[in-house]
């Protein structure tokens, strides 16, 4: 039984060739950034919820950050292709799932901000600190990482396990940014 499970893991594959996965990644990546920018515009237009440090949080749409993400994806896909075998679904599939997690996060944010701007949806105002914004994203990513981990273990598929690894690392990165934002905020008080 364990041998069958390990064999299933070893023979994990993707439904598309690597170039197809890379093109799918690019489409998801572009859609995610479009949603991110639309959400940011909505946040700036409404008055109920304000984000402290919106400029810092908006760096994710800067050309430099986008170029770094494309470079990282290129390196991951190239590494998966170069090493081959189990590393194609683990790296390429995992990175595609990580970008899908970003799309889900941006989609959730977009719908939330749209809902809160509706007449009668909320009263008063709230300012969310930069640290809380990072933590909220980290918690969402943590949930997605656990989902991928459990799915990867149940289905014995490396793409889901790779997604859990990359998404979990992103969640930890957001928690680190939250701690840094708290330190900076405390220093300014």
Question: What is the structure's pLDDT at 176?
Answer: 97
The answer to whether the Cα torsion of 71, 73, 74, 79 is positive or negative is positive
In contact, 110 and 42? CB cutoff 8 Å? yes
Measure the CA–CA gap between 45 and 55, rounded to whole angstroms: 15
- Tell me what the pLDDT averaged over the chain comes to: 91
Q: What is the pLDDT of residues 150-186, one digit of tens each?
A: 999 999 999 999 999 999 999 999 999 999 988 887 7
**Residue 4 and residue 6: Cα distance in Å, rounded?**
6
Is the predicted pLDDT of residue 90 greater than 80, yes or no?
A: yes
| Mean per-residue pLDDT, 100-118 | 92
C-alpha–C-alpha distance, residues 70 and 65, integer Å: 9
* Whole-prediction pTM: 0.89
Confidence of residue 57 (pLDDT cuts 50, 70, 90): low
Residue 84 φ/ψ region, left for φ over 0, alpha for ψ in the -120 to 50 degree band, beta for the rest: left
| CA dist., res. 57 & res. 61, Å (int) | 9
């Amino acid at each position: 039984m364990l041998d069958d499970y390990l064999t299933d893991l070893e023979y994990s594959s993707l439904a598309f060739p690597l170039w197809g996965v890379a093109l799918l990644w690019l489409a998801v990546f572009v859609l995610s950034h479009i949603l991110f920018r639309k959400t940011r515009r909505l946040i700036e237009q409404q008055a109920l919820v304000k984000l402290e440090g919106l400029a810092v949080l908006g760096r994710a749409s800067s050309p430099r950050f986008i170029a770094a993400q494309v470079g990282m994806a290129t390196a991951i896909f190239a590494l998966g292709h170069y090493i081959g075998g189990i590393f194609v679904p683990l790296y390429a599939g995992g990175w595609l799932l990580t970008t899908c997690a970003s799309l889900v996060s941006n989609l959730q944010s977009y719908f939330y901000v749209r809902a809160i701007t509706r007449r009668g949806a909320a009263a008063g105002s709230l300012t969310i600190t930069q640290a809380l914004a990072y933590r909220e994203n980290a918690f969402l990513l943590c949930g997605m990482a656990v989902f991928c981990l459990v799915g990867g273990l149940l289905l014995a598929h490396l793409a889901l396990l790779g997604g859990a690894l990359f998404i979990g690392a992103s969640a930890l990165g957001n928690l680190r940014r939250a701690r840094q934002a708290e330190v900076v905020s405390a220093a300014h008080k």
